[in-house]
Structure 1
């Protein structure tokens, strides 16, 4: 009963109905914002100005357009490779009966692939139409070369769309972010390397375009055989249907924070970091665990550390220790602000910490969260000044940071309010 009608419906008619309903919903959403005043006062003048500017680029190319290097136009179409999204038009109700009809699911996915390819072809055509004054007017590319570049971009855009769809169903959490980042870099390299090497002779792109076509066919075959991708497809389709509404109402509706329950990347188990059980050690350990388990804080810490390491490396050898000390004090200020914020949370506020415990925990948190940065500063500065033997400078750098951190902790004055929080 793969091709038999069920209640007058076939896979093709069901797909057409869903596509028609999708675009009807998008038009209704945009029609609420695009009334006649928007058309008269905004869109019509914008089309007039953009059209006039485009025509002027053809007849009188400005100097900045002629001075742009060729690689600028070759890299802009990478947007198509990154922007493509595979559309399956799956719905949550399909789990009731449609999942049992593999032929129907296969038919919907094949039509969804054709729809995705059509949208990406239109997007590629629009992008290259915008770039025509650059390629044809400035660099005098022939029509066949531009068409070859368009087809090449379109094929790798389809590869990216199917590949990202498969990753959405296979991975979750930090692993999905890591794999998607690696795939994005791989796609960029696979697309840009042939474009850079053979950009001046676009006819040579036929071979990498054929490779992309084979890769796309293989990924599509994997997609058709996948058995665990329905929930991911339904979720992505729901986001696609709501994209226009969310865009129009982004400044109107108050967004409530989304509660996500996920395992932390580091320190997933409640193991001890220190052996001592006194108040300052226990408080410092809990705050350090909370810091390491928050990915946003780790990204900020890594960004600051890497940029600061580059600053130490590029500084003259005479002032490297002073630059490193200043950056470590700046980093420790941010760490202590996190420490103070943690004390304001209800879990920590329910305990009455002594002045000694607060002072000691602040010192431990400051030292251990900034010690890796101090070691990197020592590695970078020592390697530049003394070569391979300079890598040992990480040890005195950490020891100097220990001394500096103890001095700061001993001079720090903590005031306690009535609730026992650090002020």
Structure 2
């Protein structure tokens, strides 16, 4: 390549080509013809219909719910740096190429964030403008603020990855998300209550934060980490597809001294009767509860379900409560499939009947770990403490029954 710009666009082209080839393994012509194209057509038709007549269901959804959608997009912000391992042999010999390649990558990531935000707010514009009566100028400022926050989140993730390790990295990311989420909530208050100029001032106050983050990422002191993170981001959709197909194999990690699981530290038997179904059930339970990743993921889903129940009217709460029982069961099935397909479990000659009995026992038990807190929260939010205790008991019975039925029908 004769210039950094040509090299960057060459890698960008091959990046998009690679990601397209990844999705082609899932979305073949039949899926595209019968699922993707009709879905896109329906989404476009719905968008134009929203400009004409507002749907009836929108009256049951508070403004806060639609405001959460941009926040989710903000927290998904990231920076893609297009560096490769071979660059340390060739590009380091060329003055400033690596640094300029980083800057072009950051500019591309920021531009992509801007395009995503514009697309999102353009699609939601008829709802915000026509139903919630939000002035156009405030919608534009809101869109721009989300773009700024998404950019800061992406730059912060990169800096945190370069400078923090282990639990400190997770804590730094959590604090970043809390600060951004809190700022976003304050911004929404000004958006709905005070004139847009004050809201714009808040944006200007946070905008300079991006400058030192940008300068930190542009340095040449973190090349190998940039390469590792670039490979992770390149393969994230591959990992997602492989997990969905249950062919993903987790890399073995070295043992960490003085690090114990939160529960079942000594791995004692959970069931007195030692048969195949109980052993598989025990393996599934322990693999979930002893895994920090599984617990955090499950906990996030539980908190989200409680937040949804809290926001809706009482009639909707009952329907959502039953729907969450089904949803949690299907979610827990992913944990069961991971246990079932683990290398250790496959070492033993289990029969189809063993797997079936274990699934009907393990999935409802793991599902209740999440459904009972949701039932308790539902009761205390709607019927005070007496309702919380009652729904905790009823939720255990109903949740177990629903999970059994869902597993039997799967």
TM score, norm. by length of structure 1: 0.58
1:264, distance to aligned residue in structure 2 (A): 4.9
Q: Are residue 176 (structure 1) and residue 150 (structure 2) matched?
A: no
Q: How do 1:46-65 and structure 2 match up within 5 A?
A: 46-65=39-58
Aligned-pair CA distance for 1:51: 2.2
Distance (whole Å) between structure 1 residues aligned to residue 119 and residue 125 of structure 2? 10
**Hey, what's the Cα distance between the residues in 2 that align with 1:142 and 1:25?**
41
1:222 aligns with 2:239: no
Relative to structure 1, the CA distance from residue 172 to residue 243 in structure 2 (aligned partners, 3 Å threshold; closer, same or farther) is same
Deviations 1:218-253 (A, max 9, x none): 2101222361x2222212211222233334444446
Alignment of 1:137-286 (within 5 A): 137-200=130-193, 201-225=195-219, 227=221, 229-252=222-245, 254-261=247-254, 263-264=256-257
Note if contact 1:86-1:116 (Cα within 8 Å) is conserved in structure 2. Answer: yes
Q: CA deviation at 1:145?
A: 1.8
| Distance across 2 between alignment mates of 1:248 and 1:297 | 25
SS in structure 2 of the partner of residue 87 of structure 1: coil
Q: Cα gap change, 1:77/1:181 in structure 2, threshold over 3 Å: closer, same or farther?
A: same
For 1:295 and 1:301, how far apart are their aligned partners in 2? 7
Q: Is the 8 A contact 2:98 2:220 kept in 1?
A: no
Instruction: Figure out how many residues of one structure are paired with residues of the other and give that number.
Output: 278
Q: Distance in 2 between matches of 1:71 and 1:236?
A: 34
Structure 2 distance, partners of 1:102, 1:301, is 47
**1:29 paired residue number:** 22
Instruction: Identify the residue that residue 87 of structure 1 maps to in structure 2.
Output: 80
- How many angstroms apart in 2 are the aligned matches of 1:61 and 1:286? 58
3-state DSSP of counterpart to 1:154 = helix
Q: Residues 33 and 255 (structure 1 numbering): CA distance in 2 closer, same or farther, change over 3 Å?
A: closer
| CA distance in structure 2 between the partners assigned to 1:165 and 1:129 by the alignment | 28
Unaligned residue ranges in structure 2 (runs of 5+)? 269-286, 303-343, 345-410
Q: Quick one: distance in 1 between partners of 2:110 and 2:14?
A: 20
Partner residue of 1:398?
none
CA contact (8 A) 1:125 1:150 kept: yes
Q: 2:183, 2:255 → 1: CA distance?
A: 33
Indicate the structure (1 or 2) with the bigger Cα radius of gyration. 1
The CA deviation at 1:79 is: 1.7
Asked whether the 8 Å contact 2:22–2:238 carries over to 1, the reply is yes
Change (3 A) 1:58 1:262: farther
Task: Provide the rounded CA distance (Å) in 2 between the counterparts of 1:254 and 1:138.
Answer: 45
Runs of 4+ residues deviating >4 angstroms: 264-267, 284-288, 298-304
What is the CA–CA distance in structure 2 between the aligned matches of 1:101 and 1:30, rounded to whole Å? 36
TM-score normalised by L of structure 2? 0.60
